[in-house]
Structure formats: structure tokens, C-alpha cells
Chain A
Amino acid sequence: MFGIPDPSIWLAYLFIIGGAILCVVYGIANWNKDDKSDIGGEEK
């Protein structure tokens, strides 16, 4: 794949593109979400 025969390298190649897409998709999907955790308390 991508002209690289060793799967341990083309997988990395694939994952860096996938990782960037993951960040983009997450950012868009949660664009207006402000999810609060359960650590509680009032913010100052």
C-alpha cells in the first residue's frame, strides 16, 4: 500500500491520516458540545 510493502510501516502511514481525520471528525461532531465531567463543583 502507498508503495510500501512492509505492513508495519504502511499501517503507520494509514494511522497518521486516520488519526488526523479522527481529530477533525471529533472536532466537528462536538463543535457546540460542552460536556461537563463528574468532578463537580462550581467553576470560578
Chain B
Amino acid sequence: MTYVIVSLSLYVLFMALFAYLGYKKTKNSNDYLLAGKDINPIVMALSYGATFISTSAIVGFGGAAGQYGMGLLWLTVLNLIVGVFIAFVVFGKRTRELGHRLGTATMPELFARRFDCKFMQGYAGLLIFIFMPIYNAAVLKGIVDYISKFLSVDFNTTLIVISILAALFVVTGGLKGVMYADAFQGTVMFVGMAFLIFYTYSMLGGIVNANTALTRLTGMPGVAEQTAALTKIGFSGWTSMPKAGSPLWFNIVTTLVAGVGIGALAQPQLSVKFMTVKSGRELNRAMLSGGIFILFMTGVAFTVGALANVAFYNATGQIALKAAGSNDGIIPVFIKTFLPQWFGGFFLILLMAAAISTANGLLHTMGTALGRDFLKQSLNLKTRTVTLTRISMVIGLVISVALAYFSNKLDVSMAIIAIGTSMFYGLCAAAFLPTYIAALYFKTFPRRAALTSMVTGSAISLFWMFFVQEKTAGSLQVCRLLFNTTSIVKNTFLQTLSMVDALVVALPLSMIAAIIAWAVFGNERITEIPVAPSLAD
């Protein structure tokens, strides 16, 4: 307990210091929204990584690796190649360049100025503001669940304390405070995860010995009985991919790997980070630390999650899922049981850092989505951007806290976290990715084609999540209320579709809609809206 109290006090102290520094260095909305556009590349990389990786990636998806095996490592491959390399080289540099040239502070504003369409900014801003609280609630719930269990305190009290902390840091400090705090939190996360992988592999006799033991585990006495339910849905060992076409294969490949892996490209809270650096050179430099950071986040979480099975089996004769009691318990119980006591306290801070850094990034984006994109730019309110953004952040936080509170009543624990995360990632990719690519790469792409793609992508994605994909539709309850089923294709010849993630369907259709609309409306050279003085208000 002493370790926890000391670690927590130091954490809050450092965070308060960074919020204060951010507050002191924020002179105008350019500082508040884009951190003055001169952020150090390492700070930018750590901020990008810490916002990208939340409790969900470490505990939720790490637990999924403990249950389903190392197939989850393909998500790390996509995190690195798509979420870092392609995101920085293909999207980041042009986003920064175009964003600075057009004087934009958010992703919806980039679309609006590039295509000279204010409706686009309002639509994208509202879409983000309405659905981002689901993701934010998932992030909050993850850390609150963990802390309330670890310290044996009430869920609701912890939720309120954590939310107030997150709000204080982001509302006062703006993006400057957020990015300084992210760099500190990113460092904590990196150190903790690096220790975790080295300790785990050395405890199990080295890389080859540990992996070999995990491979052999499926043939050990009592294991087949414990994995019987999983084997029925396609599981074939922790170091093998599930049977192709099985429900487990669909879950891993389309939802966990493709959904989150590709979805990262069109995340408004991540793309804004590209606009905070001075030149493309900073992004090249940032990639170095960004790549190593992500490797040590999801790469470590998924590897340790799977290897936990060997440790638990050697100690108790049970696989990780049985020993920990639930999917989301695998990583925390593994750490509590097999790692030094002091690390338990440190890991709590690590998770808190992962959650608060993501929640801060989301709160900032929710604030700008409603405050700047919708109220200021779309509805032309005269109030200052910073004031509108601050008020919107508070509204976004209240909605997120309410959702986290109600999701706790549903008693579906980490399932909500994984679902909330992949839902938002999928929605953003389907709604924004084709328009984002067009904005950055096609000078004559018509405005109406961009709008067609955005509306088609978001509509199909939402329809799929609410009515077709059983995992999401079952949790969101709307399909059950209207049609008394968890998926409208259940028990029909289209049943396989209920296992497919929305992104796999909505993103290609959104792209096709963009191409058809381009062919119909023809090339159009749009006069971009010049830099607006409003960024400096």
C-alpha cells in the first residue's frame, strides 16, 4: 500500500505541474488548440503514442491475447506499420503542411477549409462529439474498474475523482499542458512495459524456452478440458492462428486487428498531433521514438498476456483465463501474482497514465469538435474559441462519466471497453478516411464526393454497429428493443455477417461511394478558404 500511495502522490504532483506549465505558457487559442505549433519531436511522439494506447490496449486487448493467443500480435504489426509508419509518412506530413497553410486546428476544420464546406465541419464535429464519449467512457471505465478493485474503494467515487483529475489537467492546460503531461506519462508507460517484458521472459527461461512452453501447453494434462469452449469457436493454441473462417478468426482478424489497426489512420485526436510540430523534419524524428514506444506497448501487452498462461499453468495447473477469472483480469492478476510487489504500485500508475493521457486527448478533441467545429465555425457563435472549447469539454466529460456509470450497471466489464474502442475507431475510419485521403492527395476531388463518402461511411457504419454486428448490436440494445434480437441477420442465410466488423463493410462502401460520386460530379478545383483570423481569437 505504501508503494501505491507514494507513486500516486508523485504522479498527481507531476501532472499538476505540467497542467500549470501548460496554463502559464498558453497565451492564445493557437497555444490552446495546437500547442503553439512548435512542440519537440520526442514530446510529440510520446504524446501521440500515449493518446493512442489506453488501458484498453494494455489490459483489455492484453487479456484478449491471454485468452486467444499471439494472433493478436498482428494488431501490433498494424499499429507499427499503419498506426505509426504510414500515419506519419503518408498522412502526418501532409496533414501538418495543409493544416498550417489553411490555419486549421482540428480534423473537421481541415476538411471544411480544404473543400470550402462549413457543413462538413459541423457534421464531422457533431459526429465526433456524439460518439467519442462512448470511447472515452470505455477508457475511464477501464481504469476506474482497476483502481476500485485494487484499492477496494467504491466505483462511483473513483470515477468522480479520476474524471475531475482528467478535466483539471486538460481544461486548464490546453493542448500544451496535455502534451507535456503525455510525454511524462508516456515515459512512465515505456519504463513499466519494458520491465514487464524483460521480467516475464527471464522468469520463464528466455524467449525461445518461454514460447516453446506456450506452444506445448495445449498438449499438457487438463488444458484441453479448460479450452474446450474456445476450441469450439476456432481456437487452436496460443501460438497458432484460429481456424480460418471460424467465429474466433473473424473476431481477431476483422474486429481486433483490422478494425483498430486501420481505424487509427483517421482518428481526430491523433491527427491533431501532426499539426503541433513546426516542420516535416520533426515528424521524421518523432517516428524513431514513436515506433519503439508502440512496440513496447501493444507488443509487450499481447506477448505477456499470452505467456501468462505458462506462468499460471506452472503454478496452479490452470490456464490464465481460469486462474484470473475473466479476460480483463489476466494482466492485473498475472502482475499481482508473479511480479515484485513494488511493481504492482508502479503498474497502477502506468495504467492511470495510459488512461488519463488517452482521456485527455479525447476530451480536448470533444471540446474542439463541439466548441470550435460546430458552435463557433458552423453556427457562427461570437464567443471566444477557448471559452467554447472549455465549456464543450466539460459537457463531453459529463456525458462520458454518465456513460461509464451506466455501463458499470450493465455488468459486462471489459467487453464494453473493447467494444467502445473498436466502435469509435471503425466509425472514424469509415466516415473520414476516404475524405481525409482526398483532402491530402487529390487537388481536384469534388466537394460533393467528399460529403457523399462521409455521410455514406458514417450511416453504414452506424447501421452495422446498431443492427448487424452481434457483439456491438447486442451491447447497444437498440436492435433488441426494436426487433427483439441481437442481430437482424441472426438465424438467416446471412448469419456469417453478424461476426464481421462494421469497418470491413463500411470503409470499402464509403470508398466506392467517393469514387462513384467523383465520376458523376467530375473534377472540381476548389478555392480553399484562406487562413481565418479566428484561430487567434
Contacts and interface: CB of A to CB of B under 8 A. Distances in A.
B299 A22 contact: no
A8 B290 CA distance: 25
A21 B101 CA distance: 32
Given A20-B291, A44-B531, A8 B241 contact: yes
Interface in A12-44: 12-13, 15-17, 19-24, 26-28, 30-37, 39, 41-44
B295 interface: yes
A4 to B, nearest CB: 5
B100 interface: yes
Given A9-B71, A13-B70, A3 B212 contact: yes
A3 B211 CA distance: 5
Nearest to A35: B280
Contact of A5 (B98, B239, B295): B239
A44 to B, nearest CB: 5
B440 interface: yes
A44 B100 contact: yes
Contacts of A2: 207-208, 211
A12 B210 CA distance: 17
Interface residues of B, number: 50
Contact of A23 (B70, B71, B80): B80
A33 B287 CA distance: 13
A25 to B, nearest CB: 9
Interface stretch (B12-20, B53-61, B81-89): B81-89
B530 to A, nearest CB: 9
Contacts of A19: 76-77, 80-81, 84-85, 291, 295
Contacts of A37: 93-94, 97
Contacts of B215: 3-5
Q: Chain A, interface size: which category?
A: 20 to 34
B84 A12 contact: no
Contacts of B89: 26
Contacts of B77: 12, 15-16, 19
Contacts of B208: 2-3
B205 to A, nearest CB: 10
Interface centre among A4, A28, A35, A42 (most CB of B within 10 A): A4
A44 B103 contact: yes
Contacts of A30: 281, 284
B525 interface: no
B496 interface: no
B209 interface: yes
B198 to A, nearest CB: 15
Contact of A9 (B98, B213, B240, B281): B240
Contacts of B294: 20
Contact of A41 (B71, B76, B101, B240): B101
B70 A12 contact: yes
Given A3-B215, A9-B240, A19-B291, A26 B97 contact: no
Nearest to B281: A34
B74 interface: yes
A6 B240 contact: yes
A37 B106 CA distance: 20
B207 A3 contact: yes
B279 interface: yes
A22 B290 CA distance: 11
B252 to A, nearest CB: 11
Contact of A16 (B85, B93, B288, B295): B295
A27 B100 CA distance: 22
B232 interface: no
Interface string B124-142: 0000000000000000000
Contacts of A27: 284-289, 291
12 contacts: A2-B207, A2-B211, A8-B240, A8-B241, A9-B70, A9-B71, A15-B77, A16-B76, A19-B85, A26-B89, A39-B101, A44-B100
Given A8-B71, A19-B77, A44-B101, 16 more contacts: A3-B208, A3-B210, A3-B214, A3-B239, A5-B215, A12-B73, A16-B299, A23-B80, A23-B84, A23-B291, A24-B288, A26-B89, A31-B281, A37-B97, A39-B94, A41-B101
Interface of A: 2-6, 8-9, 12-13, 15-17, 19-24, 26-28, 30-37, 39, 41-44
Query: Considering the complex of A and B, which 3 residue pairs feature the smallest CB-CB distances, nearest first?
Result: A23-B291, A27-B288, A3-B211
